[in-house]
Amino acid sequence: MDGLIMDYQLTIDKMIKRANRVFPDKEIVSVLPSGAKHRYTYSDLYRRTVRLMNVLRGLGVGRGHRVATFMWNDYRHLELYFAIPSLGAVTHTLNIRLFSEQLSYIVNHAEDMVIFADATLLGPLEEIAPQLKSVRQYVVVSEEGKMPETSLSPLADYETLMADAEDDEDFPELSETDACGLCYTSGTTGKPKGALYSHRGIYVHTLMAGMVDMLGIGERDVLLPVVPMFHANAWSAPFICAMVGAKLVYAGQNVQPEALVPLMQEEGVTFAMGVPTIWSGMLQHLRQTGGNLGRVKKLVVGGSSVPRAMIEAFKREHGIDIIHAWGMTEMSPLGSLNRLLGKMEDWPEDRQFGALSRVGKPAPCVEMKIVDDAGRELPWDGRSSGELLVRGPTVIRSYYKNAEAADQFTDDGWFRTGDVVTIDENALLQITDRTKDLIKSGGEWISSVEMENAIMACPGVMEAAVVARPDAKWDERPVAFVVRQPDADPPQPEQIIAHLRNHFAKWQLPAPADIRFIEHIPRTSVGKFDKKVLRSQLA
């Protein structure tokens, strides 16, 4: 129509061009494997992104090609995050913790052409290299620019390629519907499945995720994403920071509290992101050392359920707000995020914490509905629970080259999340479980997540994971694997059960013999409780 607004393509190259123009002197700090810190600015990042685009061109990378990264969080991973899509190619972030079988499956399925790998991570690649069919070039990223001994071939060194490359700024015209990134879900069931992102999806996600009532990150913030860059776009941190000009801090490979605390203090971190395990470990560490997190005001925690006890402890002991987030790789990844609403300001604390332990309001641009087994839509009343369906510009419309998983998408354009949820009158979402983790006892459901959270609020408990065990009479019964706090009075099964009585019906309670104390809970490659392993331990 005449006079209509510009058809301006929302593409990632524009983010890095803008960062160079508008925030050239803002810093990016990375801890290197040696422990030394590397510092440079957004204008350095831009200059090196341009060079890297020329390096990629020299390697034959063009439109639509998949280029993989096998790296920790640092500035060179960030350069790849911008250079690959700016060239019209696709950044495929490989999870460095995957088993070799899954890793080779993913590389072959994605048909990656080049793999950029940290020098400290070559071992797993060497192991699978004979099976990789599409890889034409390995590029090693090392601290000193020295080539390590390796069987990978052909091999090039990142800094040598960069030193030899031209500085010509040659950005191709891109379309916002071009693919720009690829990430496989960690595959707790079946084969890993690929989520293919578009420039538009990432751009929209970045604007949405940065909003004040979402992550609310601004130019004055100093962001430490402990969430790995190899998983789910690092929750958009690289893109949001470039857009708003926030200082970025990368911890590299050591994400133990002993390393993070001084880093956060020295760099003036105001905002950090990561999965609950990182922060539960941090809380213990701070208690033991009497330490603090300096200027940190907010922690975004998600990826698995955040126990209310953790939210309360950070607020009471450190004045830090935990922002509970829910998302999925398939959703770029943010789906919902919890902020205290205006009307909750004068609620009693107990009620506030209750609201804050839910996973929050649907993100702008993410449409949600709950359905029952027959596909009928359920009300948002805080009680009706069913599977959550989502759709929107940041949600994938199918898995990459995977017809078998087609049933996760409805004919009328919704994605089935596999999460069982309720949504209350305040539009606050609560994840009750994953469909496959629910426990069905005597025909009734028990939520494993709710039981875990309740156990974790019990004094002396550090962590808990609940799974179903087969039962002749009831079909399934809950079994709780519990890790006790090292320096606390060890709670006994009867005490835990007594505590659970406040939250669960009698028939839902685990038997004392089904409370099992273990040293640590096995994790998946992205740090979630690995319930598959726990179930196999039961068998």
Residue type at position 38: H
Distance between CA atoms of residues 299 and 296, nearest Å: 8
Asked if 532 is an active-site residue, the reply is no
DSSP 8-state symbol, 77: H
Q: Which of 142, 138, 120 is nearest to 128 (CA)?
A: 138
The active-site residue out of 185, 206, 329, 394 is 185
- Coil, helix or strand for 66? strand
Judged by CB, which is closer to ligand ADP: 232, or 311? 232
Q: How far is the CB of 524 from ligand ADP (least distance, A)?
A: 6
- Which two three-digit tokens encode residue 347? 């609620």
Cβ–Cβ under 8 Å, residues 24 and 42: yes
Beta strands 155-157 and 137-141: pairing type? parallel
Give the C-alpha separation, 450 to 445, whole Å: 12
Minimum distance, C-beta of residue 168 to ligand ADP, in the bound complex (Å): 38
Known active-site residue 185: yes
* 189/254 with CB nearer ligand ADP: 189
Residue with Cβ nearer ligand ADP (172 or 418): 418
Distance CA 507, CA 44 (A): 62
The active-site residue, picked from 330, 387, 452, 463, is: 330
Q: At 444, list the tokens.
A: 């009734």
Whether 440 is a known active-site residue: answer: yes
Element counts in the chain: helices (H) and strands (E):
15, 25
Count other Cβ atoms within 10 Å, centred on residue 470.
11
Question: What is the C-alpha to C-alpha distance for residues 40 and 219, in angstroms, rounded to an integer?
Answer: 17
Shortest separation between residue 531's beta carbon and ligand ADP, angstroms: 11
DSSP symbols for 152-211: -SSEEEHHHHHHHS-----PPP--TTSEEEEEE---SSSS--EEEEEHHHHHHHHHHHHS
How many other C-beta atoms can be found within 10 angstroms of the C-beta atom of residue 351? 10
Q: Choosing from 146, 410, 440, 507, which is the catalytic residue? A: 440
Smallest gap from residue 397 Cβ to ligand ADP (A): 16
- Least distance between ligand ADP and beta carbon 89 (Å): 23
Kindly tell me which of 74 and 419 has the beta carbon lying closer to ligand ADP: 419
Cβ nearer to ligand ADP, comparing 264 with 421: 421
Q: 84: which strand partners?
A: none
Report DSSP letters for 202-236, one per residue: HHHHHHHHHSTTTT---TT-EEEE-S-TTSGGGGG
At closest approach, how far in Å is the CB of 112 from ligand ADP? 19
Please say which residue, 172 or 354, places its beta carbon nearer to ligand ADP. Answer: 354
Rounded to 5 degrees, what angle do the CA atoms 303, 362, 370 make? 90
CB of 333 to ligand ADP, least distance (A): 6
Please report, as ranges, the residues that interact with ligand ADP according to CB under 6 A: 185-186, 188, 232, 302-306, 324-329, 333, 359, 417-419, 431, 434, 526, 528
Kindly state the smallest distance separating residue 312's Cβ from ligand ADP, in Å.
16
CB-count exposure of residue 113 (10 Å: 0-12, 13-18, 19+): buried
Residue number with CB closer to ligand ADP (53 or 323)? 323
Catalytic residue status for 445: yes
Nearer to ligand ADP, 274 or 333 (CB): 333
Map residue 308 onto helix, strand or coil.
Answer: helix
Give the active site residues. Answer: 185, 330, 440, 445
